[in-house]
Structure 1
Amino acid sequence: MNQNWLFVFLAGIIEVFWVSGLKHASNNIEIIITVALIAVSFFLLTAASRSLPVGTLYAVFAGIGTAGTVLAEMIVFGEPFNFIKVFLVATLLSGVVALKLLSGSKDSSKVNIKGEVA
Structure 2
Amino acid sequence: MNRNWIKVLIAALFEVFWVIGLKHADSFLEWSGTILSIVISFYGLITAGRGLPVGTVYAVFVGLGTAGTTAADFLFFGEPFKLEKVLLIILLLAGVIGLKLVTDEKTEEGADS
TM over 0.5: yes
- The offset of 1:105, in angstroms, is 2.6
Matches within 5 A, 1:69-84: 69-84=69-84
Q: Do the aligned partners of 2:8 and 2:45 also contact (CA within 8 Å) in 1?
A: yes
Q: Which amino acid aligns with 1:11?
A: A
- The offset of 1:82, in angstroms, is 0.6
Are residues 1:102 and 2:102 paired?
Answer: yes
The aligned residue for residue 114 of structure 1 is none
Question: Number of matched residues?
Answer: 109
- The offset of 1:28, in angstroms, is 1.9
| Runs of at least 5 residues in structure 1 that lack an aligned partner in the other structure | 111-118
- The offset of 1:102, in angstroms, is 1.4
Distance 2:102 2:21 in 1: 33
Q: Which amino acid aligns with 1:25?
A: A
Q: For residues 9-52 of structure 1, give each alpha carbon's deviation from its aligned partner in whole angstroms, at most 9, with x where no partner exists.
A: 00001111111011111112211110111011101111111111
Compute the TM-score of the two structures, normalised by the length of structure 1.
0.87
- The offset of 1:92, in angstroms, is 0.6
Identity %: 51
Q: Do the aligned partners of 2:21 and 2:30 also contact (CA within 8 Å) in 1?
A: yes
The aligned residue for residue 2 of structure 1 is 2
The aligned residue for residue 53 of structure 2 is 53
Distance 1:28 1:48 in 2: 30
SS at match of 1:52: coil
- The offset of 1:65, in angstroms, is 0.3
SS at match of 1:104: coil
Structure number, greater radius of gyration = 1
Are residues 1:12 and 2:15 paired?
Answer: no
| Runs of at least 5 residues in structure 2 that lack an aligned partner in the other structure | none
Q: Whose relative contact order is higher, 1 or 2, with alpha carbons under 8 Å and at least 6 apart?
A: 2
Task: Let me know the Cα RMSD of the aligned residues.
Answer: 1.1
